Structure 1
Amino acid sequence: MASSLASLKSFPCPAGNKCTAFQCLFNHEDGTNTHVEEQSLAKNPNPPATADQDSPRKRIKLSSMTPSTPSTTHQDLSTTPEIGKAEPDKRKDLSLTQPKLTDTATATAAAAAAAAAAAAAATVSPAMSPAMSHVNRAQASTSAKTPTSSSPKPSKPLSTPHATIKSSPKPSPISSPKSSPKPSPKPEALNPRLLKKSPATHNARLMLVKALHNEYVRLNTELKGIAKEDEKELLLSGQELITKTLDDEQEIATKKTAVYNNAIRNKILTYKRMKVPQWKEERANILKAHKSEESSQAPVTYEPIVTGLTLPQEIDFLHRLVWPLAGMERYGYVSAVPSDDDIKAAREAVEASRNTEVCDRCTRRFQVFPGRREEDGALASNGSCTYHPGKMYYPERSAGEKTSPPKKYRCCHQSVEDESSTGCTTAPTHVFKTTDPKRLAAVLNFAETPPNPDVPADRAVCFDCEMGYTVYGTELIRITAVAWPNGEELLDVLVRPIGEPMDLNTRYSGVRAEDMAAAEILKPGDDHRPTLVPSPDPSKPPQRKLKLAPSPKAARDLLFSLIAPSTPLIGHGLENDLNAARVVHPTCVDTVLQFPHRRGLPVRNGLKMLTETLLGRKIQVEADDENGNPAGHDSAEDARAAGELVRLKVRDEWKTMRAKGWAIEDGQIVPPKGMGGTAGA
């Protein structure tokens, strides 16, 4: 084939001197096949180099040439400078000189400009001719080459089949309106980002990305034509449109992998039908959200909750929120101390099962060994545990999406329906949890709150506990109590569990093994308040070092010293804390029952969600310690948050009662005339 094409050189060109072929295969009177190059050089004697990819067997040698400033990305083909004049009847050697960058800052700027040129080349307008697109791609790809010389000199012949040309590393930036005050620091081409698990082929994703980008460009262009001066900030630059397209496509590809094709097509269709006013509103909301997020970084002062009642009146009113203990068993509360016969039966059942349990995290069956297995000292069988530590949730629907998105895990955002994923976290052992009061009593029996005449009558206590996994299930490892409503700390100690710890559940409890090992052990009569350790930085508050109660019973006795049977205990999901401390208390105010979920129990609202939506405060922030591990929850913070929610409930209830005629006379809450009873009834 090559020999037959070469034989055409012996025939004159049919077009003669009017031939415009880049490298004509026919013979010409002047002996050259590059008329286009001659015409271009006549117009521009010092052109920048372009890639010679059309003829891999031709090498053009340039004896001397000085680099010139390259043209913009979008240029007309007729004015595109070509490579220098070629020598006839010889194989060409391609070379080009380049000035050497000696300054680091200049080199950095050149690299950034090259990246911008590459992004521009990838988004060539469809209206441009194929030849023009080829020239732009060549310029963009060659401009990223690092210059190697400071004076004009020929380079070595290239050994690759296609010649690669080094050109000036200073391409013109993309000319687009810069409406955003913070342009993207990292230019990108309109090319789908590389994902660990791609939901479709690259060509399919590229087609969808271009379609979505076209809709964004259309809406942005139309908005630009009608935008007022104060609406200029709603406009997006060319690079910002690309970044937004890639961000949206990547979000769908990672969070909706199973329904990627339908999800992104629905999104494209939504924006295809969208009018400028809707796009304008969406851009305004996004901009408002960004400003709100930036302002949220500053310290926020919260308005105190004003109930309109004095402290004794609030305590008196609090009794209206107490649910009778009888009948609370359906919510998990223990209303009576299990008998000895019940405890004996529970122990016999455990022995009959040979301590076989079901893992609370991965649901696999395993065997537990209290006191450790003799042959190897293991606490549990069946190896390690792989699981998802995050709770399940339903993602929010995108605009125009009609189908319900699949349920996912908060820890890794993987779909619950994905059977190939067994978990994203691995623990050394399996763990289990039991809620049966008889089995709980077999480890440590329950106790009713004893009378305590030393407790003030106007005291209410916010209560919260942290639990960890041991060979006996979940056990108490921290107990906290604060006064209500002022939040004064009354009790906060670590607790040594009865069984051997298997997992302290630090991700949620915040308790670490090193903290318990270094804690001071409490003795009868010792001050249980935390030790304050001065911080190395004088501007920071001192560090609190919690002390360690030697057993759950000792920690429960500390709680009994602060409350009486008539003292209201406030908490969120209070039955879990009372059962962990093995306490039967008749006066409980549970925020789970005060703020029920719209679907009813057993579905319940989380404390974090209630605090954020009703109080406008954030708790249980996912912070990490200095080693990058989750810091966990703070039981004192949770206890105070539950107390604030109860105050909000008191305020709203009292407001409703006042509208019905209730009033305060002589410092007492009295009902309307003709209605019997008191506020505490």
Structure 2
Amino acid sequence: MANSLAALKSLPCPAGDKCTAFQCLFKHDTDIDSAVTVVSSGQVVAPTPAASDLTQDLPRKRVKLDSVRAAPSQQSATRQIESEQTTPERPQIKRQKVAMSSRDEPARSGKIESPLPVVRKLPSLVKGTGQSQSSSSQAQDSRSNSTSPSTTPARTIAKPKAPTKAIPKKPEVLNPRLLKSSPAQHDTRLKLVKALHEQYVRLNSELKKDARDDASKKLLLSEQELIVKTLDDEQEMAIKKYKIYGNAIRNRILACKRMTAAKWKEERLEATKDTDGQETEDASSAPKVIVTGLTTAQEIDFLHRLVSPLEGLTDFGYVASIPSDEDIQKARESVTASGNVEVCDRCTRRFQVFPGRREEDGALASNGTCTFHPGKTYFGERGPGKLSKPSKKYRCCHLNVDDDSGGCTTAPTHVFKTTDPNRLASLLNFAETPPNPQVPADRAVGFDCEMGFTTYGLELIRMTLVSWPDGEKLLDVLVQPYGEILDLNTRYSGVTPEDMVMAERWKRGDDHKPTSTPSTDSTKPSEQKEKLKLVPSPQAARDLLFSMISPDTPLIGHGLENDLNSVRIIHPTCVDTVLLYPHRRGLPIRNGLRMLMDTLLNRKIQRETDDDQPEGHDSAEDARAAGELARLKVRDEWCDLMWKGWAIKDGEIVPPEF
């Protein structure tokens, strides 16, 4: 059996160099010869033991080794396998001496005997270094001393490979790249490439004129970068838009012809990279810069295109007409008939509310304390298994809704709110925005209000107005509600009882602007803290608002129906970001302001330093955020109109001429 298997060693392996067998029975070019015959002075030396005996420690991957042969003058031949990592030890040297002496004697007498092999580990597969070479040379010297002086066997040492140098990229010329399948003839592609490159050069030159700081200079492209960008864009359209290549690249050229330097700067801001050719750290989380390419007056003029008519939004909380006196009276009678029994907005329990306090004990509400979850629900991760459903949890405590035992937060009283326009008007009737000739015609404002729970429901406690698009504060006041306060809803409103108590009372004719006080933080003594003034009633706050807007003034906000209803106004020019960025499932489901700012502009708002004690929202921050979203929409809508042929002539936006 062994002879038949050994006969296979003379046959070439069918798998060739791709063979991965541990000890292949067939012949390979890289194998160590099983029989090495050295002819010296007419004498033949017997072959060494089989290669399989020498390669017991071989790794699975084959290693190409050069056979070591003795010089012609040698009286013996031996195969030595060197190790780069292990030097010969003294016992091995002794065995070598014995082996050499035993081999020399038969050679001189003419007898043929099998020499004793010296088996050592194979060289490491790791590339050779200077250290490994020195160790190999030391091992060779020790072996040379142990053998006869005339024996100088050749050595095979893995030499370190020189590191491959990156071949510098050759500068490209303005010539379309060779493609496997060209969408057009070369002459046609060349003309289109030159036309596109011409527009890129023009836009880059215009940007260079306005580049005054280092940030703007980084956006500029060199001549070679302009060529590469042109060829990259043309190649992308030729591959991805093969069937409409001609239209695609012509539309791009036309868009570049109509593109302003501001729009080109915006594109470069999105594609820019740092000097090392890598994206800047946290570039994906850097706030996005909005460049509309319009002046402030043109942006305000264009903003009127985003106004939503109130007539079609009455089903979603907007009030389009003033409730009549009869409807208001019916709402009051229904409240009286129910005995002021309400449903808690937090725990859904029924309770009784006492406006003006209950006479016997001075209570504002019945049915004790309110235990609830202040956070909204969300779906957690899926459990193990394909058929498992994600668990629904509360954001405040991350408890499962199904495992809930009641709530994680306890409030002194129950609270409620109402959305019925007639009942809202029973406390303060709605009013339409009156004409105001003193208001500038080119004014647009961001609007946001904060509400708290009182014995009359959800009432206005703070009102903020900022100019658009610069975000400068025009009005920011606290408001004393009509009913007794049950809960200021500080978690969301940001208004604390101390703010209401320590606020300076505002009177008609006084300056409504906040006063600055030194910061109470010892680490930041130079900072100034704004102290808002307290307006005596929601009606007084509404009068202040009417003094700063007119019916043609765009009001920008997120979920404007809540803010308008809290102030009890009907405004015809509203820009609601809930309607500008609708939820994919449509109303009444809506996207949150915080989510929109994070996903669209990479800006973080409504941050909380401590989740257990949230500071609440800042109405000024929310108003500015809604204004930024509206400005982003202006930019997108204006880009669409430019594609359709709209342009700016004599400072005005004009439609295309047909």
TM-score under structure 1 length normalisation: 0.54
Matches within 5 A, 1:460-499: 460-499=444-483
> Judging changes above 3 Å, is the alpha-carbon distance between structure 1 residues 395 and 659 closer, same or farther for their aligned structure 2 residues?
same
Distance 2:450 2:526 in 1: 26
Q: Which residue does the alignment assign to 1:351?
A: 336
For residues 663 and 320 of structure 1, the distance between their equivalents in structure 2, rounded to whole angstroms, comes to 16
Note if contact 1:623-1:632 (Cα within 8 Å) is conserved in structure 2. no
* Residue aligned with 1:327, SS: helix
Residues in 2 aligned to 1:566 and 1:656: alpha-carbon distance in whole angstroms: 25
Instruction: Work out whether residues 314 and 320 of structure 2, in 8 Å CA contact, stay in contact via their aligned partners in 1.
Output: yes
| 1:157-193 Cα shifts (integer Å, max 9, x gaps) | xxxxxxxxxxxxxxxxxxxxxxxxxxxxxxxxxxxxx
Please give the residue correspondences for 1:257-406 in structure 2 after superposition, counting only pairs within 5 Å.
Answer: 302-397=287-382, 403-406=388-391
Within 5 Å, which residues of 2 pair with 1:1-40?
none
Cα offsets for 1:533-564 (capped at 9, x unmatched) = 12355664201111100100111111111100
Question: CA deviation digits over 1:382-413, x for unaligned, max 9?
Answer: 11000000011112447975533021110011
Of 401, 417, 422, which aligns to 2:402?
417
1:439 and 2:423 matched:
yes
Alpha-carbon separation, structure 2, partners of 1:470 and 1:295 = 48
1:597 to 567, 570, 583: 583
Partner of 1:654, secondary structure, is helix
Other structure's SS at 1:490 match: strand
- Structure 2: which amino acid aligns with 1:618? K
SS of the aligned residue for 2:437 comes to coil
Rounded to whole Å, the distance in 1 between the matches of 2:454 and 2:385 is 48
The offset of 1:327, in angstroms, is 2.0
Larger radius of gyration: 2
How big is each residue's C-alpha offset from its partner over 1:250-272, in whole Å with a ceiling of 9 and x where there is no partner?
xxxxxxxxxxxxxxxxxxxxxxx
- Whether 1:658 aligns to 2:645 is no
State the Cα distance separating 1:525 from its structure 2 match: 1.0
**Distance in 1 separating the partners of 2:541 and 2:419:** 20
Q: How many residues align?
A: 377
Q: Percent identity?
A: 71
- Whether contact under 8 Å (2:478, 2:533) holds in the other structure is yes
Instruction: Name the residue aligned to 1:616.
Output: 602
- Corresponding position of 2:621: 637
Residue aligning to 1:167: none
Counterpart contact for 1:464–1:481, Cα < 8 Å: yes
2:517 maps to which residue?
533
Which residue of the partner structure matches residue 536 of structure 2?
550
2:477 corresponds to which letter in structure 1? V
Q: Deviations over 1:604-644 (max 9, x none)?
A: 0000000000010111112349xx73211100000000000
CA contact (8 A) 2:558 2:576 kept: yes
Sort the Cα spacing of 1:669 and 1:425 in 2 relative to 1 into closer, same or farther, 3 A: same
What is the alpha-carbon distance in structure 1 between the residues aligned to residue 643 and residue 281 of structure 2?
38
Residues of 2 paired with 1:357 and 1:309: CA distance? 51
Any idea what SS the aligned residue of 1:480 has?
strand
Q: Supply the distance in 2 between the matched residues of 1:566 and 1:427 (Cα, whole angstroms).
A: 43
1:571 aligns with 2:557: yes
Show CA shifts across 1:457-490 (max 9, x none).
Answer: 1100100000000000000000001000000000
**Structure 1 unmatched runs, 5+:** 1-293, 675-681
The one-letter code matched in structure 1 to 2:635 is: R
Please, which of 594, 601, 607 is the counterpart of residue 593 of structure 2?
607
RMSD, aligned CA: 2.0
- Structure 1 residues 412 and 537, CA gap change in structure 2 (3 angstroms): closer
CA distance in 1 between counterparts of 2:621 and 2:332 reads 37
Q: Which digits, 9 at most, give the CA deviation of each residue in 1:5-62, with x for residues without a partner?
A: xxxxxxxxxxxxxxxxxxxxxxxxxxxxxxxxxxxxxxxxxxxxxxxxxxxxxxxxxx
1:588 is matched with: 574
Cα distance in 2 for residues equivalent to 1:396 and 1:662 = 48
Q: Which amino acid in 1 is paired with 2:322?
A: V
Q: Residues of 2 paired with 1:559 and 1:320: CA distance?
A: 23
Aligned equivalents of 2:386, 2:303: Cα separation in 1: 45
* Structure 2 Cα separation of the partners of residues 513 and 308 of structure 1: 45
Alpha-carbon distance, 1:599 to partner: 0.8
Instruction: Provide closer, same or farther for how the CA distance between residues 613 and 402 of structure 1 changes in structure 2, counting only shifts above 3 A.
Output: farther
- Whether the 8 Å CA contact 1:434–1:473 is kept in 2: the answer is yes
Bigger Cα displacement from structure 2, 548-557 vs 529-538: 529-538
**1:502 matched to which residue of 2?**
486
Q: What does residue range 241-256 of structure 1 map to in structure 2 within 5 Å?
A: none
Give distance in 2, aligned partners of 1:607 and 1:398: 30
Rate the CA distance shift 1:587–1:390 in 2: closer, same or farther, 3 A: same
Whichever residue aligns with residue 432 of structure 2, its letter is E
* Structure 1 position 414, deviation (Å): 1.1
Task: Using structure 2 for the length normalisation, give the TM-score.
Answer: 0.56
Distance 1:459 1:345, change over 3 A: same
Counterpart CA distance in 1 for 2:523 and 2:606 is 25
Q: CA separation in 2, counterparts of 1:491 and 1:597?
A: 31
What secondary structure, in the 3-state scheme, does the structure 1 residue paired with 2:504 have? coil
CA shift, 1:325, in A, is 1.8
Q: What's 1:513 paired with?
A: 497
Letter in 2 for 1:525: G
Q: Residue 653 of structure 2: SS of its match in structure 1?
A: strand
Distance 1:485 1:657 in 2: 21
Q: Secondary structure at the match of 1:576?
A: helix
The aligned amino acid for 2:310 is L
For 1:393, the aligned partner's letter is Y
CA-CA distance at 1:515 after TM superposition: 0.8
- One-letter amino acid of the counterpart of residue 546, structure 2: F
Separation of aligned partners in 1, 2:586 and 2:364: 39
CA distance, structure 2, for counterparts of residue 508 and residue 563 of structure 1: 27
SS in 2 for 1:370: coil
Measured against aligned partners, the alpha-carbon deviations of 1:202-222 in whole angstroms (never above 9, x if no partner) come to xxxxxxxxxxxxxxxxxxxxx
Alpha-carbon distance between aligned partners in 2 of 1:316 and 1:401, rounded to the nearest angstrom? 54
The residue type equivalent to 1:355 in the other structure is: N
Gaps of 5+ in 2: 1-279
| Matched letter for residue 308 of structure 1 | G
2:422 aligned with 1:450: no
**Higher mean C-alpha displacement, 463-472 vs 539-548:** 539-548
Task: Label 1:619 to 1:398 Cα distance change in 2 as closer, same or farther (>3 A).
Answer: farther
Distance across 1 between alignment mates of 2:377 and 2:598 = 19
